Amino acid sequence: MSGGWTQRSLFTRLLVYALAVILGFSLAASIGAGTALVVSGNLSWPTGEGTRPGEPSPAGERGKPPKHQQADADGQQQDHTDRPQQEKAGVKRARVASQDKQIPYVSGVREIQADSVEAFSDSHKKLLRYDSLTSGDIEEMQANQAALQAFADQASALKAPKMYREQKDAFVSAIDELHQAAQLAYDLAADPISATQADFDDYEHLANEATVDLQQSNEILGKDYKTIGGLQEVNLP
């Protein structure tokens, strides 16, 4: 009886020990398999929402735009900021360029007009002494009309800014009319016998037209350059 109980207890302990060993191996195998899956990437870590350690969460990704989108947004904002400044700079450069063109043009008009008025006035004053002209006077009148021809060419060659297109037309016409009048004055002085009242009328008409065109040119330029207005009228002796 006692020997049978002893054998039964020994068998029971062996059975329990065997079960414990089997359970231990099973548990170790389960843990090893889970670790292998995690390492291979087939399973996610239990913490977070399916994210791995060191990776941003979906919420973080949604809250922060990608780098290239952020760069595009910054570039567009910078472009909007710089555009008004670029436009102002462009307007300023255009204004400076326009002024650079105006200065030499207006200066050229002033010089040509002054020389033309002086040459014509000299011939006109001599023509007033039509019946007492000397050969020297006639030579000077010839030189004046030649000079006015050169001044007319210079006026046509001037580079006028767009804002002075109308002014240049009036100015060129005025200098050409002064030349034509000076040419006629020389012809009358060189050949007094063939002179008629019609010739003197033509001379006065050209002088009056030149006066009007010079005044118009001055008004557009905003200048008070000398004209031939106020000269004494010439009549046939």
pTM value surpassing 0.75: no
pLDDT at 8: 52
pLDDT at 130: 87
Which parts of the chain have pLDDT scores under 70? Answer: 1-101, 236-237
pLDDT digits (tens, 9 = 90+) for 80-128: 666 666 665 554 554 444 556 689 999 999 999 999 999 999 999 999 9
Tokens 């350690």, residue located? 53
pLDDT at 20: 64
Q: What Cα–Cα distance (Å) separates residue 30 from each residue in 3, 26, 34, 44, 143?
A: 41, 6, 6, 17, 123
pLDDT at 198: 94
